[in-house]
Chain A
Amino acid sequence: MIAEVFSKVQLEALHQRPYTTPIVAVTGGKGGVGKSTVAVNITAALTALGYSVALVDTNVEAPNDNMLLSLSLDDRVYVQVAMPIVKTNLCTQCGDCIAACRRNALFLPPGQTPILMGECNGCKACINACPTGALLTGWMPVGETFRSESGELTLFTGVLQPGRAESTVIVQALKDRLAAEAARYDVIIVDTATGVHCTVIAALAGATCAYAVTEPTPVGMHDLERILELCRILAIPTQIVLNRSDLGGWQGRLGACEAGTEITLAASIPYDSVLLQSYIKGMPVTQMSPNSSSAHIFAGLAIRIEKECLE
């Protein structure tokens, strides 16, 4: 294992943001454990308490919070990355741009001007390397961000264009868009993608605290340990939400995991067909069936967030 992935100075830079609104991240490592369900329902429960909430769906490869809320994706803004455009009359065919591109995306046919052939990631190294100004900055779309409103809830959604690799760029663009108006919300809920990679780290950056959603199976526990390790090195206080908690057999392991890491179990959600129906219907269970056991659990989580982050 690597001792320290982030130094104190790096952590400060990673978490720095131009607003103080608390950010609660909902994450979990494994896919399909209920991250979006938890994020959407605690958002609904917090709005029911009278708070103005921004929900940020950073799962840009498979965004679905809008579907769980039956909201349309509105107010589109394109996310673009730079690309070189060759002005052939200025090009001296010196080859400096070819040497600058570490991805070998530029090709210089003999006696001709450079052609963009490979996977350009928009770093602009070639444009900066050109001594004659023959490379201009063009822009290529890699995805979109959206902003949808419903009462006290504002949903920010990022969408990666299929076939592109710039998930992290979209997450960063989405968070920049939120930053412009973040001060007007009481709390921000960030729903992350699965995994522990750069996209998830970009989503977790700046989080006040996090909830790691998991299920009591060996795979759930394995992936939980990975996300807890990530949250630890990012210095984000994290609690566990155990979904399908009555699946059986593995609660003991969770206890060991809690003891080993001194991490609290914030809520247990037993399997509930009402919760499944609310997912299918696209309405938070706290609105669809406010008296259901699941609705009570999410209301309890909202009160927990209120006490720990909003007072």
Chain B
Amino acid sequence: MKELLILSDKGGAGKSSVTASIAALLSGTLNITLADTDVNAPNLHIINKASLIKSAPIYASEKAFIDMTACTGCMGCTDMCSFGALMRGNGTPVLLQIFCEACGACIKECPEKAIEIRQIHNGYLHLFDAGGIKLVSGKLSIGQGSTGKIVDIIKSEARIAAQNDNADYLIIDGPPGLCCPVISSLKGCDAVLAITEPTMPALSALERLLNVVEYSDPAVGVIINKVDINPAGADAVRRSMEERGIPVIGEIPYDIHVSFAITEGVPVEICFPESKAAEALRTITSKILSLFETKQQERDIDHEQDTCMR
């Protein structure tokens, strides 16, 4: 089973739409399992009009708790917090758990031993049926944190689901940005498809993302979405990727059918197969599998060279 992760540092570039269509196309001949690790704004189940099979709470966040009956208000703890989670209140410290990293620096400082660290509920794990394809998704509860740990749980559940279904590919609709949930999404994935747009903000975000992606060394391909809204910007993306040696494996024209498909809750490939976007997505899908093969060949060569050196 191989893992393909769809990413974009800039939000709204088309991660979920591309994921839904690629999965629909590949599932014709291969076994696919889907995951959605954008726990802030999970949308793949909406774009796929998936039905919920089951749901479970997640307790993946550790936070400090102060026993206010034991606290004498010495405020020693407030000086120890490096994350702005402990503030001086009126007579007692005020703990803002959202910023607490559960490091425990405050615990040692408390003479009354009034602080302890406990696990708390911070999200939900969801299993959906997306037209015969299993979709493992999850979401952050509002006002909670530790998104990276929710992603770890989604990925481990998705891998189990994929193995149970004998999946050839686990396709993961990733989160925007480049922080905790992105780093967790990248762990162990074989290939990354980075979606971008032909604008300066999107290109700048793409370059930053690629710097993070390189740490885990997957195969990488880039897709330029809405490519025709700014031809000069599209050229800039192509030039930048050529310099980095990263292939642009597809370009999708701006197509209002994509928005209509989102509203319908059906991948554009199925909803409007004659549309320009659907055609581009078919070309992209035909190239994705070769992305994995190229990387495998590179690794084989590296391995041979290593063996020869020894």
A interface with B by C-beta (< 8 Å)? 1-2, 5-6, 9-10, 12-14, 16, 29-33, 36, 61-62, 64, 67-68, 81-82, 100, 102-103, 121-125, 128-129, 160, 162-165, 167-169, 172, 193-199, 201-202, 217-219, 222-223, 226, 229-230, 233-234, 244, 247-250, 276, 279-280, 282
Contacts and interface: CB of A to CB of B under 8 A. Distances in A.
B103 A121 contact: yes
Contact of B103 (A31, A102, A279): A102
A6 B10 contact: no
A5 B179 contact: no
Interface string B188-219: 00000000000111001100110110010000
Given A5-B143, A123-B101, A282-B200, A32 B43 contact: no
Contacts of B209: 162
B47 interface: yes
Interface stretch (B79-87, B162-170, B280-288, B291-299): B79-87
Interface of B: 8-13, 16, 40-41, 43, 46-47, 62, 80, 82-84, 87, 89-90, 94-96, 98-99, 101-105, 108-109, 117, 121, 140-145, 147-148, 175-180, 183, 199-201, 204-205, 208-209, 211-212, 215, 229-230, 233, 259-260, 262-263, 265
A51 B215 CA distance: 45
A2 B229 CA distance: 44
Given A29-B41, A62-B176, A100-B108, A194 B11 contact: yes
Interface centre among A61, A168, A247 (most CB of B within 10 A): A61
Given A5-B144, A168-B99, A201-B143, A100 B104 contact: yes
Contact of B143 (A2, A64, A248): A2
B211 A121 contact: no
Given A30-B43, A62-B201, A123-B83, 17 more contacts: A5-B144, A6-B143, A33-B11, A61-B176, A62-B10, A62-B176, A100-B104, A123-B104, A124-B105, A194-B40, A195-B177, A202-B99, A223-B41, A230-B142, A234-B143, A249-B260, A282-B200
A279 B199 contact: yes
Contacts of A164: 179
Contacts of B94: 9-10, 12-13
A1 B153 CA distance: 20
B199 A280 contact: yes
A162 B263 contact: no
Given A123-B101, A123-B105, A31 B10 contact: yes
B148 to A, nearest CB: 7
A124 B82 contact: yes
A32 B11 contact: yes
7 contacts: A31-B13, A31-B41, A196-B140, A217-B259, A217-B263, A218-B262, A282-B200
Contacts of B183: 163, 165
Contacts of B82: 81-82, 122-124
Contacts of A282: 200
Contacts of B176: 31, 61-62, 194-195
B143 A217 contact: no
B179 A125 contact: no
A226 B211 contact: no
A13 B86 CA distance: 9
Contacts of B84: 172
A219 B46 contact: yes
A225 B99 CA distance: 23
A199 B175 CA distance: 14
B204 A197 contact: no
7 closest A-B pairs by CB: A32-B12, A31-B11, A195-B40, A123-B103, A64-B201, A5-B143, A61-B177
A194 B41 contact: yes
A121 to B, nearest CB: 6
B178 A102 contact: no
Contacts of B212: 162-163
Contacts of A250: 263
A60 to B, nearest CB: 9
A16 B12 CA distance: 32
A61 B179 contact: yes
A278 to B, nearest CB: 12
Given A13-B96, A30-B12, A199 B179 contact: yes
Given A62-B176, A219-B262, A125 B103 contact: yes
A267 B263 CA distance: 22
Nearest to B233: A280
A159 to B, nearest CB: 9
Contacts of A249: 260, 263
A233 B142 contact: yes
Contacts of A160: 178-179
Interface centre among B47, B83, B108, B265 (most CB of A within 10 A): B83
